[in-house]
Amino acid sequence: MNNRLDADLLHALGDLDEALAILDGDFLVALNAPMQALLPGEPGGLAADWAAPLHGLASALAAPLGVRTRCGVSGEYTARRVALDARHVLLRLVDERERLHHLQRQLDDREGLLFTSRSLTVSEMGSVLAHELNQPIGATVNLLRGLKLRLARRHPDSTDELAALDKAVQQVTYASQIIGRVREYTQSRQPKTERLDLVALVHESLALLDWDLQREAVRLALSLPEAPVPVQGDAVMLQQVLINLLRNALDALRLDRPDDPLIDIELRLDGARAELRVGDNGPGITPQTEARLFLPFSSTKPNGMGLGLSICRSLVEMHQGRLWFSRREAGGCCFHFALPVMAAETTPTLEKTA
């Protein structure tokens, strides 16, 4: 490899955002623009002298090939050398601050989604509780009033008992009023009407769960349109639905792990609606469980409250959509939700990846 080839190689690599240099033994042969912006210098001199301005880089040049070494005052850079041939070495210098900034942004996004998820869960739980409790409370009021009428006819002198029944009716009525106020509060949380891209929403949701997917060694099979699929709605609410379905799939694969754990996600257009499918090759569910999937307080998880799918269905229906379940032919579960599609200029075509 001669100097001309070195320069041509660095020129070809110059479009990359990484700082790169080529060394020939103890000498600097060539460097690309990002490296020159970080460490101004000219080829031909000793590599140690050229690297001296960056704390720790001169020592990193003596490290074994392939070993990543920290340099910079606060260790903000990672240096790594790779052999190009018998004489020449490529030095790669990575600015870790950008990666850490991206990681922090991901963590902030996860924390924000978790906070919003809890708020939505509490609100939806309040709505579910209001619906479930109003019926027994109404029945209790009717029973107390009927009991008071009978007692008044048979024992008109039982003033203390009648007064106690009056107080009981007042207390139960007061409880019903409190539940009514909770329902009014939870129903005030309406989805935001903004234009969203379902394809981008899928990628953003997967990015928030990338650690879980990597830890469980789950393979993803994506079938997504190349062009955006525009819908109208609340990004946080719809992302909450998708993440809940993905977490359910991960739980199923963790419960009875197959040889090749798989989550497949498909987004397709069906006329004026977009249908998103989240499937897994886990153990599946029994017909008895399927019949109660979307009922509040029905859960197959040991510590589950049974509100996740009920809340998801409620959120999808708030967007004039539909959420349902089917069985995969190859085994496992598949959840679907469909939403109205906004007018678009182009019709997306599917690109399959695995």
pLDDT in tens, 236-261: 788 888 988 998 899 889 887 888 89
Distance, in Å, from the CA atom of 165 to the CA atom of 155, rounded to the nearest integer, reads 14
Instruction: Give all domains of the chain, ordered by start, each with its CATH number.
Output: 3-97 (3.30.450.20), 99-187 (1.10.287.130), 194-353 (3.30.565.10)
Across residues 265-293, what is the average pLDDT?
88
Pairing of strands 194-197, 88-95: unpaired
Structure tokens at 105: 């942004």
pLDDT value of position 152: 86
Distance, in Å, from the CA atom of 337 to the CA atom of 335, rounded to the nearest integer, reads 7
Mean pLDDT of the chain: 79
Phi, then psi, of 117 in degrees rounded to 5: -60, -45
For the segment 100-126, what is each residue's pLDDT rounded down to a tens digit?
A: 666 666 666 655 555 555 555 556 666
For the segment 42-83, what is each residue's pLDDT rounded down to a tens digit?
A: 888 898 889 888 888 888 888 888 888 888 877 788 899 988
Residue 343 burial by CB count (10 A; 0-12/13-18/19+): exposed, middle or buried? exposed
DSSP 334-352: EEEEEEEPPP-SS---EEE
pLDDT of residue 351 exceeding 60, the answer is no
Distance, in Å, from the CA atom of 50 to the CA atom of 178, rounded to the nearest integer, reads 74
Q: Is the pTM of this model over 0.85?
A: no
